[in-house]
Every structure is written in structure tokens, then in C-alpha cells.
Amino acid sequence: MAWRTVGTPQGEPWLLLHGGPGSSCQPGMLRPFDLSRQWVVAPDQRGCGASCPRGRTAGNHTAALVADMEALREHLGLERWSVLAGSWGTVVALAYTLAHPQRVQRLVLRGAFALSRREVGGLLLPSSRVRQSLVWGALWPVSRGAVLPVALQRLTQLIQSGTPGVASLRAARGWGLLETASAARSQRRSLRHAALDTPGLAASIRREWASLRKAEKRAVARLKKPGKTRGDRQAFAKFRVQAHYLRHRGFVRAGQLDRGVLQAARQGLPVDWVHGRFDAICPPANSRRWAALGRAAGGAVSHVEPHSGHLGHEPDMLPALRRSVRRTLA
């Protein structure tokens, strides 16, 4: 498992859990921290990023990720650490809290992912309107009207291919495009509302949205290009892991995430739920429900919904994360 540390070694220790599944820790994910007084441990989960072998799915499941995090804590000699997690990372954070509550100081959970069919299907089964708006939707290898298990099986077959052909390349490139398009759709909704309420914020969101749209257009232009690039190899590894986890519903048993929330409440762990109000990937209702569950169990819960979509660096999301992460506990 690849990992790196950033910040002040004598500072408050934090574990940073990336999303995905299949992604990796990126420098921009450090922006919520005050690195002059906090120490961040940023691992790439099994099969992800710089961890070897990249894209491996054998022995790769959520319980193994939890064991990896605990082994890393012991290796670093830390008694406890706080956790900042986003999207899929919130699943790992709650599973870790359930298994090792005494090792957690507090939790900041952004854009919580509930592993629901609605979330996964919303990404991988684009509607006819979304397909038309994406222009390239006709090239997506999942047919209209397909059910989610069939879609995941088809994508897994393509992504796992040892000798990727045209269809496999389009699947990997298209999957990345769907992620980008969903994030852009979230930002567009956020921009539409901000334009009415907070013009200053709207200007910042418009710049972010324009940048995301440019990235989407560049990706569309690459969709039909022949040959496999370094970026394609990285995408295959990422989506191989992601398909593996989604097909097995994150290797999470029914009610396990709820039990993680309740465990945090029983331990008296402060939990900050930070979820973009216009998130089109993970519904804000996820965090609302879990925040309510934690409060009902007597937990120390904070819940905020910034004027943003799914991404952690959006103009109203980043300040909200900074406030949560840099808050000094009494």
C-alpha cells in the first residue's frame, strides 16, 4: 500500500480517505487542512494509485481496506487519528469506525455514499436525455433499458479484458466521461441557484464549471482516438477496481453503515456531515439520514449543506470543509 505523510509530524494526526472506489489521494485533497499544525496520512487504497499491483481485485474488499488502515496506524505509532473522507471514502471511514472506534478521534464525512442502486444506476445507466446531451451517449456499451446487474456485468467484462479492444477502450473512457458529466451537472445546478441568491459565489462556481466543461470536451474528443495511452491504462486500473466493488455492493452487509454511525454516537465521536446541496452523484439525503440517526442516538453531530455539488474543491464546499477540519475541539 502506497502512502505519504504531509504537514507537521507533531501536529494533530489525520487519515485522509479518497473516493472512487479505484481513485487515489491527490494534492488538492489536502486543501482543507492547516498543515502548520496538522499531520495528514494519505494512503492509496488497495489496487489504487501508486499501490501495487495497480488495478488488482484479488483479496481486495472493504474489510481488507479497514485492516490496511489499522496496520498503517500501528506502523506509525499513533494512538488515535481523525478521519476526513469523501464519497466512497465515507464507506471505508464508517467501516473503520465500526471495527476500531477507540482509534478514531473524530470524523469529517463529505458527500456520503450509500451504495444504493439509485446512486450507481444514476451514473452507469444514463437516461435518454443525458445520452443526447452528452452527444457520445450512443457509444456507451450499456444498452438503453438495461438493469443495473446486467450493466455492471457487461462493464466488468469489458474493463477486465486482458487485451482491450475498441469497445473496452470506449467503456473505460466513457465511464470517466460519465463521472465528469455528473460532476458538471451538479455544478450547473449549483450555479443556477447561486445566480439568483449570491452573485459573488456564482462567479466562482461559473469558473469551476467552465473548467470542468473544458475537461469534458477534451475527453469527448479522445473517445474515438485509436491506441491506448497512459491515461487509458490508469483508467482501466481505476474502473477495474470500481466495477469489482460496485458488483459486490462495496462488500458491505445490510445495515453495516448504519451500525458505524451508531458506533460513533456511542463512543461520543464528533461527526461532521458535509454534503453539497446540489450533489447529483451522492444524494444529500444520505447525509441527512445518517446525521439524524446519529443525533437520535445522542451523538455529537454537525450537518451542513454548502451551495455546491459533489466535488471537494468547489467554491462553497472547500470553506465548509476547512471549518470542520480546522475546528479545535474543547
Per-residue pLDDT tens digits for 130-166: 777 666 666 788 888 889 999 999 999 999 876 678 8
Structure-block grid coordinates of residue 321: 470543509
**pLDDT at residue number 135:** 67
Structure-block grid coordinates of residue 79: 494512538
The span from the CA of 191 to the CA of 104, in Å, is 36
Given a cut of 70, is residue 254 above it in pLDDT?
Answer: yes
| Block residue for cell numbers 470543509 | 321
**pLDDT at residue number 12:** 96
Residue of 247, 228, 16, 244 whose CA lies nearest to 109: 16
Main-chain phi, psi angles of 108, to 5 degrees: -125, 115
How does pLDDT run across 51-99, given as a tens digit for each residue?
999 999 999 999 999 999 999 999 999 999 999 999 999 999 999 999 9
| Block residue for cell numbers 480546522 | 326
The span from the CA of 124 to the CA of 147, in Å, is 10
The span from the CA of 150 to the CA of 212, in Å, is 30
Predicted structure pTM score: 0.95
How does pLDDT run across 164-175, given as a tens digit for each residue?
788 888 889 989
Rounded-to-10 torsion of CA 65, 70, 76, 80? 130
Q: What is the separation of C-alpha 33 from the centre of its chain, rounded to a whole number of angstroms?
A: 18
Nearest-5° Cα angle at 266, 262 to 271: 65
Helix axes 166-197, 199-222, angle to 10 degrees: 170
* Average pLDDT estimate for 253-267: 97
Q: What is the mean pLDDT of the chain?
A: 93
Cα–Cα distances (Å) from 248 to 59, 120, 243, 251, in that order, read: 13, 12, 9, 5
The span from the CA of 171 to the CA of 183, in Å, is 18
Q: What is the separation of C-alpha 215 from the centre of its chain, rounded to a whole number of angstroms?
A: 19
Is 130:137 a contact under the CB 8 Å cutoff?
yes
Dihedral sign computed on CA atoms, order 179, 109, 99, 289: negative
How does pLDDT run across 207-248, given as a tens digit for each residue?
999 999 998 888 888 887 888 888 889 999 999 999 999 999
**pLDDT at residue number 189:** 92
Return the bridge partners of 15, or none: 41, 83
Q: Where in the chain is the domain with CATH 3.40.50.1820?
A: 3-115+252-325
Given a cut of 80, is residue 275 above it in pLDDT?
Answer: yes
**3-class secondary-structure state, position 17:** strand
| Block residue for cell numbers 451551495 | 307
**pLDDT at residue number 137:** 67
**3-class secondary-structure state, position 81:** strand
**pLDDT at residue number 221:** 84
Dihedral sign computed on CA atoms, order 257, 316, 238, 108: negative
Residue of 92, 246, 280 whose CA lies nearest to 178: 280
- Return the exposure string of 15-26: e unless at least 16 CB atoms fall within 10 Å of the residue's CB, then b: bbbbbbbbbbbe
From the options 1.20.58.220, 3.40.50.1820, 3.40.718.10, 3.40.630.10, give the CATH code of 3-115+252-325: 3.40.50.1820
